[in-house]
Chain A
Amino acid sequence: MIRVVLVDDHELFRAGVRNELSGLVDIVGEAGSVAEATRLIREVDPEVVLLDVHLPDGGGEAVIAAVAQERPAVRFLALSVSDAAEDVIAVIRAGARGYVTKTISRDELADAIRRVAEGDAVFSPRLAGFVLDAFRSGEPMGADEELETLTPREREVLQLIARGYMYKEIAARLSLSVKTIEAHVSSVLRKLQLSTRHELARWAQERRLV
Chain B
Amino acid sequence: MTQIPVLSFQRSERDRVVAGICGGLAAALGVDATLVRLVFAVLALAGGAGILLYFALWVWTGGRHPVIAVLILALATMGLLQALGVPWSVVLGAGLLVAGLVLLARRGATLRPGGGSLFIPGIALAMAGAVVLLDHLGSSGHVFGPGALAGALVLVLAPWVWRLASERTERIRLAERAAIAARIHDSVLQTLALVQRDADDAPRVRALARRQERELRRWLYGSGYGDAETLADALAEAVADVEEAHLVRIELAMSGDAPLDDALTQVVLAAREALVNAAKHAQSDDISVYAEVEPAAVSVFVRDRGIGFDRSAVGPDRRGIAESIESRMRQAGGSATITSAPGEGTEIELTMPRGGAS
A71 located at the interface, meaning its Cβ lies under 8 Å from any Cβ of chain B in the complex = no
B210 touches A129 (CB 8 A): no
- Closest beta carbon of chain B to A46's beta carbon, Å: 28
In this complex, what residue of A is CB-closest to B256?
A: A133
| A98 contacts across to B, CB distance below 8 A | none
The one of B249, B253, B294, B303 in contact with A128, judged by C-beta atoms closer than 8 angstroms, is: B253
How far, in angstroms, from A159 to B288 measured CA to CA in the complex? 12
Q: In whole angstroms, how far apart are the Cα atoms of A132 and B221 in the complex? A: 23
Known A-B contacts A129-B255, A133-B255; the reply to A164 vs B303 at CB < 8 A is: yes
Give the nearest-CB partner of B210 in chain A: A103
B71 at the interface (CB under 8 A from A): no
Size category of the B interface is: 20 to 34
Residues of A within 8 A of B288 (CB): 125, 163-164
Q: Is the CB of B290 within 8 A of A125?
A: yes
Whether B40 sits at the interface, judged by CB under 8 Å, is no
What is the 8 Å Cβ interface bit string for chain A, positions 133-166, against chain B (1 contact, 0 not)?
1001100000000000000000000010011110
The CA-CA distance from A159 to B290 in the complex, in Å, is 8
Interface-centre pick from A83, A103, A128 (highest chain B CB count, 10 A): A83
- The interface residues of chain B lying within 8 Å CB-to-CB of A83 are 217
**Contact B249 A103, beta carbon cutoff 8 Å:** yes
Residues A162 and B213 in contact, CB atoms below 8 Å apart: no
Report B-chain residues with C-beta under 8 Å of the C-beta of A163.
253, 288, 290, 301, 303, 347
Docked complex Cα distance between A33 and B291 (Å): 35
Whether B249 pairs with A126 at a CB distance below 8 angstroms is no
Chain A residues 112-129 with CB under 8 Å of chain B are: 124-126, 128-129
Q: How far is the CA of A63 from the CA of B41 in the complex (A)?
A: 86
Closest partner residue, chain A, to B344 (CB atom)? A169
B295 & A126 in contact (Cβ 8 Å cutoff): no
Contacting residues, chain B, for A133 (C-beta < 8 A): 254-256
Segment 216-247 of B: residues with Cβ below 8 Å from A: 217, 221
A159 and B251 in contact, given A81-B213, A103-B210 (Cβ under 8 angstroms): no
Give the distance in Å from the alpha carbon of A126 to the alpha carbon of B255 in the complex. 9
- Complex partner residue of B292 from A81, A124, A132, A164, CB under 8 angstroms: A132
B10-21 to A contact mask, C-beta < 8 Å, 1/0:
000000000000
Q: Are A159 and B249 in contact (CB under 8 A)?
A: no
| B255 and A132 form a contact (CB under 8 A) | yes
Residue in A81, A126, A136 whose CB lies within 8 Å of B252: A126
Q: CA separation between A103 and B292, bound complex, in Å?
A: 22
Across the interface, do A165 and B303 meet the contact criterion of CB distance under 8 Å? yes
Contact of A159 among B213, B286, B292 (CB under 8 A): B292
A167 at the interface (CB under 8 A from B): no
Taken together as a complex, chains A and B put the C-alpha atoms of A164 and B305 apart, in Å, by 9
Question: Per-position contact with A for B296-313: 1 when CB-CB < 8 Å, else 0?
Answer: 000001010100000000
CA distance A133 to B294 in the complex (A): 10
Asked whether A164 lies within 8 Å of B290 as measured between CB atoms, the reply is yes
Q: How far is the CA of A81 from the CA of B294 in the complex (A)?
A: 27
Given A163-B347, A164-B290, do A126 and B253 touch, yes or no (CB 8 Å)?
Answer: yes
In the assembled complex, which residues on chain B have CB atoms less than 8 Å from the CB atom of A162? 253, 255, 290, 292
A142 to chain B, nearest CB (A): 21
Mark A79-91 against chain B: 1 for CB-CB distance below 8 A, else 0.
Answer: 0010110000000
Q: Which residues of A contact B217 (CB under 8 A)?
A: 81, 83
Kindly state the separation between the CA atoms of A133 and B290 in the bound complex, as whole angstroms. 12
Closest chain-A Cβ to B192's Cβ sits at a distance in Å of 14
Closest to B303 in A: A164
Nearest neighbor of B305 in chain A, beta-carbon distance: A164
Provide the bound-state CA to CA distance between A83 and B252, in Å: 10
Contact residues in B for A165 (Cβ distance below 8 Å): 303
Within the assembled complex, what's the spacing in Å between the Cα atoms of A128 and B290? 10
Q: Give the Cβ gap from A115 to chain B, nearest Cβ, in Å.
A: 18
Residues of B within 8 A of A (CB): 210, 213, 217, 221, 249, 251-256, 286-290, 292, 294-295, 301, 303, 305, 347
In the assembled complex, 16 residue pairs joining A and B whose CB atoms fall closer than 8 Å, in A order, are A83-B217, A103-B210, A125-B253, A126-B254, A129-B253, A129-B290, A132-B292, A133-B254, A133-B256, A136-B294, A159-B290, A162-B253, A164-B286, A164-B287, A164-B288, A164-B303
Tell me the A residues contacting B by CB distance below 8 Å. Answer: 81, 83-84, 103, 105, 124-126, 128-130, 132-133, 136-137, 159, 162-165
